[in-house]
Amino acid sequence: MDLSHVSQSKVFGGWHKQYRHDSKILNCPMRFSIFLPLNATDTTPVPVLYWLSGLTCTDENFMQKAGAFRKAAELGIAIVAPDTSPRGDSVPDDPQGSYDFGLGAGFYLNATQEPWKKHYQMYSYITNELPKLIEKNFPVTSRKAISGHSMGGHGALTIGLKNQDQYVSISAFSPICHPSIVPWGQKAFRHYLGEDKSSWSEYDATELLKAWSLKRPILIDQGDADNFLEEQLKPEILQSVALQKQLPVTLRMQPGYDHSYFFIQTFIGEHLKFHAHHLSESL
């Protein structure tokens, strides 16, 4: 898994860097971005926040638009932003060219259906291959937190819930909370996982919360002016399950905010402080 350096820029005393590598799990080249604060050295490695972006995004969207580096530098946290799906000429895409399935829309699951299963193994990439690569090549510890937006919020919730030994805290902006019952999730699950809906629950945060115990805290911010809120996101259903089971899930409805990166910019500092608190508790 040799790395190929793409670019770098100094920011708030640290470095934003972009790399390519050949993924054995995804069977294609992949790109990721990493922010390393000034205090990240071989003798003082730092913990990592993994950020999962939403539909149509790449590794660049969050890093360029979220305004996260000042606070991450202050807190001494590295940030890793992977791409949202496998890429390349050999990777199948939605023949209709829609934005909500195929390239840019990996949904952070392991596909079981043809022709998707050869490449669309984003769950294993995020939980296994990528962190091993990061920990081998950069001055970071094995302490990790996870966050994301929209489809990436769905990924952060499901991956965090299923791997609570790996991630000390979980957060999300505008996540797809119950993908099994909404158009975005149903379309993706039907293609990637097939018609057996019992397999869908493995990648549905609401269903996982019903079935699993929760020992890691979850913070969710959701704008009440989000035009996807009622049809696609369904945070109220997730919150209902959390309240019934008395689980450590905090849902904050933010008046007037939409689905955009302006929303993320506004609250990303609070999410970074949330994760920093739990990352420091685990050290």
**Catalytic residue, candidates 149, 178, 259, 278:** 259
The per-residue pLDDT for 29 is: 97
pLDDT at 282 over 90: no
Q: Which distant-in-sequence residues (6+ apart) come within 8 Å of 233 by Cβ?
A: 150, 174, 175, 176, 177, 182, 222, 226
Residue 3's SS3 state is coil
Mean confidence (pLDDT) of the chain: 97
pLDDT at 283 over 60: no
Contact status, residue 278 vs residue 148, Cβ threshold 8 Å: no
Mean pLDDT (whole number) for 24-37:
98
Structure tokens at 68: 């996260």
Give 218-251 as a DSSP string. Answer: EEEEEETT-TTIIIII-HHHHHHHHHHHT-SEEE
Name the residue among 44, 61, 48, 55 with its Cα closest to residue 133.
48
Catalytic residue status for 259: yes
**SS in 3 state form for 9-29?**
EEECCEEEEEEEEEECCCCEE
The per-residue pLDDT for 76 is: 97
Catalytic residue status for 150: yes
Per the structure, how many domains does the chain have? 1
**Catalytic residue, candidates 59, 83, 221, 226:** 226
Catalytic residue status for 226: yes
**Catalytic residue, candidates 85, 150, 169, 174:** 150
The parent domain of residue 48 ranges over: 4-280
Mean pLDDT (whole number) for 30-50:
97
pLDDT at 3 over 60: yes
Contact status, residue 146 vs residue 42, Cβ threshold 8 Å: no
251-256 contacts, C-beta under 8 A, 24 or more apart? 251/220, 251/222, 252/219, 252/220, 252/221, 252/222, 253/222, 253/223, 253/224, 254/221, 254/222, 254/223, 254/224, 255/224, 255/225, 256/223, 256/224, 256/225
60: domain CATH number?
A: 3.40.50.1820
Structure tokens at 111: 């596909």
Question: pTM for the full model?
Answer: 0.97
The pair phi, psi for residue 188, each rounded to 5°, is -65, -45
The per-residue pLDDT for 281 is: 79
For 109-124, how does the pLDDT look when each residue is reduced to its tens digit (9 = 90+)?
Answer: 999 999 999 999 999 9
Name the residue among 122, 238, 128 with its Cα closest to residue 182.
238
Mean pLDDT (whole number) for 149-156:
98
CA gap 127, 274 in Å, rounded: 21
Contact status, residue 180 vs residue 237, Cβ threshold 8 Å: no
Instruction: Look at 97 and 227; give whichever has higher pLDDT.
Output: 227
- Max Cα separation, the chain? 50
